[in-house]
Chain A
Amino acid sequence: MRFRFSLVFTALIIAFLWLPFASLCATALTSAFSHPAQLLEALPLRPLQRSLFFNSLMLSALCGAFSLLFGVPAGLALARGPGRARPLVSLLTALPLALPPTLMATAWLEITRTPPARSLASLAAEKPLPIAPVFIAAPILALCYFPIASLALAAALRALPLEIEEAARLFGSPRRALWRVYLPLLWPALAGAAGLCGALALWEMGAPDLLDARTYSVEIYRAHSAGGEANLAALRGLPMLALGAFLLWPTLGALRFYDKAGQGSARSETSGTIAGCAGLILTCALFLASPLAPVGVFVSQLRGGEWRVFPEVWRDNASELGNTIALSTLSAPLLTIIALGLVAAWKFWPPRWRLAALGLCALPILFPPITLGIALVEFFNRDVFALIYGGLPPSGLAWLDWLTENSARYSMMILGYGARFLPLAIVLLHEAARRVDDHLLEAAQNLGASPGRAARTILTPLLRPALLGVAMLLWALCAAELTVSVLVNQPGGQTLPVPIFNLMHIGMASQVAALSLTLFALTACAVAGLKFALNWKSK
Chain B
Amino acid sequence: MKHKDTKTQRNLFLAALCLCVFVFQINGCARRANAPTQPIVKSNRVVLYCSVDDVYARPIIRALEQQTGLKIDVLYDTEAAKTAGLANRIRAEKNRPQGDIFWSSALLQTLLLNREGLLQPYVSPSAKDIPNSLKAKDGLWTGLGVRARVVVFHAGKDALDWRKSPTSLEKLVAPIYAPVGISNPQFGSASDWAAALTVRWGIPKTLNFFRTLKKNHARILPGNSVVAEKVARGELAWGVTDLDDYLAARAKGALGLNFLNPTPTNTVLTPGSVAILNRAPHFSNARKLVDALLRPETENQLAKIMAGVQPIRGPVLPMPGNQNIVPWPGLPGNRAGIPDDTAQWSAAWDSIREPLAEILLKD
Interface residues of A (CB under 8 A from B): 1, 47-48, 51, 113, 118, 121-122, 125-126, 128, 130, 209, 212, 221-222, 225-227, 316, 377, 381, 383-384, 386-387, 389-398, 400-401, 404-405, 408-409, 450, 486, 489-492, 494, 498-499, 501-503, 505-509, 511
Q: A316-B58, A390-B98 are in contact. List 5 more A-B contacts (CB 8 A).
A: A393-B35, A394-B39, A506-B225, A506-B248, A507-B249
Q: Is B45 an interface residue (CB 8 A)?
A: yes
The SS class assigned to the A binding surface is: helix
Chain A neighbourhood of B163, CB < 8 A: none
CB-based contact A381/B93 at 8 Å: yes
CB-based contact A393/B179 at 8 Å: no
Q: Shortest CB–CB separation between residue A51 and chain B, in angstroms? A: 5
Chain B neighbourhood of A51, CB < 8 A: 363
Given A221-B80, A222-B184, A507-B249, verify A383-B234 contact (CB < 8 Å): no
Give the docked Cα–Cα distance between A151 and B187 (Å). Answer: 43
CB-based contact B28/A222 at 8 Å: no
Q: Is B3 an interface residue (CB 8 A)?
A: yes
Interface residues of B (CB under 8 A from A): 3, 7, 24-25, 27-29, 31-32, 35, 39-43, 45, 47-49, 53-55, 58-59, 62, 73-81, 84-85, 87-88, 92-93, 95-99, 179, 184, 186-187, 217, 219, 221-223, 225-226, 229-230, 233-236, 248-249, 252, 281-282, 357, 361-363
Give the docked Cα–Cα distance between A121 and B236 (Å). Answer: 10
CB-based contact B32/A381 at 8 Å: no
CB-based contact A225/B225 at 8 Å: no
CB-based contact A121/B361 at 8 Å: no
Chain A neighbourhood of B49, CB < 8 A: 491
Q: Number of A-B pairs whose CB atoms are under 8 Å?
A: 172
Give the docked Cα–Cα distance between A58 and B290 (Å). Answer: 49
Chain B neighbourhood of A491, CB < 8 A: 47-49, 73-75, 98-99
CB-based contact B32/A121 at 8 Å: no
The SS class assigned to the B binding surface is: mixed
Q: Shortest CB–CB separation between residue B283 and chain A, in angstroms? A: 10
CB-based contact B32/A393 at 8 Å: yes
Chain B neighbourhood of A113, CB < 8 A: 233
Chain B neighbourhood of A503, CB < 8 A: 54-55
Cβ-defined partner of A128 (8 Å) among B24, B58, B217: B217
Those 6 A-B pairs whose CB atoms lie nearest each other, nearest first? A225-B81, A391-B96, A492-B73, A505-B79, A225-B85, A491-B75
CB-based contact A125/B28 at 8 Å: no
Give the docked Cα–Cα distance between A507 and B78 (Å). Answer: 13
Given A47-B362, A122-B235, A227-B88, verify A506-B55 contact (CB < 8 Å): yes
Given A491-B73, A505-B225, verify A386-B184 contact (CB < 8 Å): no
CB-based contact A494/B225 at 8 Å: no
Given A225-B81, A392-B31, verify A405-B45 contact (CB < 8 Å): yes
Cβ-defined partner of B187 (8 Å) among A226, A383, A397: A226
CB-based contact A128/B42 at 8 Å: no
Give the docked Cα–Cα distance between A391 and B25 (Å). Answer: 13
Given A48-B363, A130-B363, verify A408-B98 contact (CB < 8 Å): yes
CB-based contact A395/B73 at 8 Å: no
Given A386-B96, A387-B25, A491-B49, verify A394-B219 contact (CB < 8 Å): no
CB-based contact B97/A499 at 8 Å: no
Q: Shortest CB–CB separation between residue B154 and chain A, in angstroms? A: 9
Give the docked Cα–Cα distance between A400 and B229 (Å). Answer: 48
Chain A neighbourhood of B229, CB < 8 A: 507
Across the two chains, which residue of chain B brings its CB closest to A381? Answer: B92
- CB<8 Å pairs between A and B, sample of 18: A1-B7, A128-B217, A212-B221, A225-B78, A226-B186, A227-B84, A316-B58, A391-B96, A392-B31, A450-B3, A491-B99, A502-B76, A505-B78, A505-B79, A505-B226, A506-B79, A506-B223, A507-B226
Cβ-defined partner of B55 (8 Å) among A386, A393, A486, A511: A511
CB-based contact A396/B357 at 8 Å: no
Give the docked Cα–Cα distance between A383 and B27 (Å). Answer: 12
CB-based contact B282/A394 at 8 Å: yes
Chain A neighbourhood of B7, CB < 8 A: 1
Q: Shortest CB–CB separation between residue B105 and chain A, in angstroms? A: 12
Chain B neighbourhood of A126, CB < 8 A: 179
Cβ-defined partner of A507 (8 Å) among B27, B235, B252: B252
Across the two chains, which residue of chain B brings its CB closest to A230? Answer: B92
Cβ-defined partner of A501 (8 Å) among B3, B78, B87: B78
Chain B neighbourhood of A405, CB < 8 A: 43, 45
Across the two chains, which residue of chain B brings its CB closest to A51? Answer: B363
Given A48-B361, A511-B55, verify A121-B78 contact (CB < 8 Å): no
Give the docked Cα–Cα distance between A511 and B42 (Å). Answer: 36
Which of B3, B43, B95: most chain A Cβ within 10 A?
B43
CB-based contact A508/B55 at 8 Å: yes
